[in-house]
C-alpha cells in the first residue's frame, strides 16, 4: 500500500503532525511525505494556468509541473495533516490543491461531471486547534468535497483535537482522547 502524507503542519513539535503519525502508524506500508510549505509551488496566476492548460490540451502531462498530481493520483491512501488556522487550514495546502487539480491526471470530465482518475479510496484529515473548531466544514468540508467529487475517494475521515491552548484546559487529555479515537477507528476496520 502506498500512502501519501500531505503534511501542512509547519511548526516543529506540531500536535497535528503528532496525531497524523498516529494514523500513519495504523496504516503501515510505504509512506511518502510532502510538505506543501516547503515545495515552492508556482503561483497559479494567468501565465501558469495558460502553460498548464496548453500542456493538458496537448496531452503532455509528463512535465515537472504535474509531478504532485501524478503522485497524488497514484497513492492508495491519503493522510492530510492540517492545523486549523483562520477557520480553515494553512494557505500552502490550498496551493497544493491548485497543483494537483489537473484534468487528465487526477480527474476528467464526462457529460460535464468530474470523474476520478485517482487510486485512493480513503482519505484521513487530521487537525488540531488551540480553540474550538467552530465547524469542520471550514477546512475538512472543502477537502472532503474535492475528495468525493473530483478524486472519487469515498471514505473521508476527520480526526481532531481542539481547545488545546485554552487556559485551564487539559490539552494532554484531549490529545490522548484523539489518539484513542484513532485507535478505535482502526480496530473496527480490522
pLDDT per residue as tens digits for the range 126-182: 999 888 777 767 789 999 999 999 999 999 999 999 998 889 999 999 999 999 999
Q: What digits encode the pLDDT tens for the residues 56-80?
A: 989 899 989 999 999 999 999 999 9
| Count of domains observed in the chain | 1
Distance CA 153, CA 143 (A): 11
The closest alpha carbon to 68, from 42, 88, 30, 91, belongs to 42
pLDDT level of residue 190 (50, 70, 90 thresholds): low
Q: What's residue 139's pLDDT?
A: 87
Q: What's residue 80's pLDDT?
A: 98
Helix (H, G, I), strand (E, B) or coil at 97: helix
What is the CATH number for 87?
Answer: 3.40.50.360
Give the CA distances from residue 31 to residues 1, 20, 101, 131, in Å, rounded to whole numbers and listed in that order: 9, 12, 21, 30
Q: What digits encode the pLDDT tens for the residues 16-66?
A: 999 999 999 999 889 999 999 999 888 889 999 999 999 998 989 998 999
Q: What's residue 44's pLDDT?
A: 84
Q: What's residue 151's pLDDT?
A: 96
The length of the chain is 190
pLDDT level of residue 5 (50, 70, 90 thresholds): very high
What is the domain range of residue 85?
2-189
For 181, phi then psi, to 5°, come to: -65, -35
Amino acid at each position: 500500500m502506498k500512502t501519501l502524507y500531505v503534511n501542512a503542519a509547519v511548526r516543529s513539535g506540531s500536535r497535528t503532525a503528532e496525531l497524523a503519525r498516529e494514523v500513519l502508524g495504523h496504516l503501515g506500508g510505504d509512506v511518502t511525505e510532502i510538505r506543501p510549505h516547503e515545495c515552492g509551488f508556482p503561483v497559479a496566476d494567468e501565465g501558469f494556468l495558460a502553460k498548464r492548460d496548453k500542456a493538458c490540451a496537448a496531452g503532455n502531462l509528463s512535465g515537472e509541473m504535474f509531478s504532485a498530481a501524478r503522485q497524488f493520483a497514484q497513492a492508495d491512501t491519503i493522510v492530510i495533516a492540517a492545523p486549523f488556522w483562520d477557520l480553515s487550514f494553512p494557505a500552502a495546502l490550498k496551493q497544493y490543491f491548485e497543483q494537483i487539480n489537473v484534468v487528465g491526471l487526477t480527474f476528467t470530465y464526462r457529460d460535464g461531471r468530474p470523474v476520478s482518475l485517482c487510486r485512493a479510496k480513503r482519505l484521513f484529515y487530521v487537525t488540531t486547534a488551540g480553540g474550538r473548531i467552530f465547524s469542520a466544514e471550514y477546512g475538512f468540508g472543502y477537502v472532503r468535497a474535492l475528495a468525493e467529487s473530483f478524486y472519487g475517494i469515498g471514505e473521508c475521515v476527520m480526526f481532531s483535537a481542539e481547545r488545546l491552548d485554552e487556559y485551564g484546559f487539559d490539552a494532554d487529555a484531549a490529545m490522548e482522547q484523539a489518539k484513542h479515537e484513532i485507535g478505535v477507528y482502526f480496530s473496527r476496520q480490522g
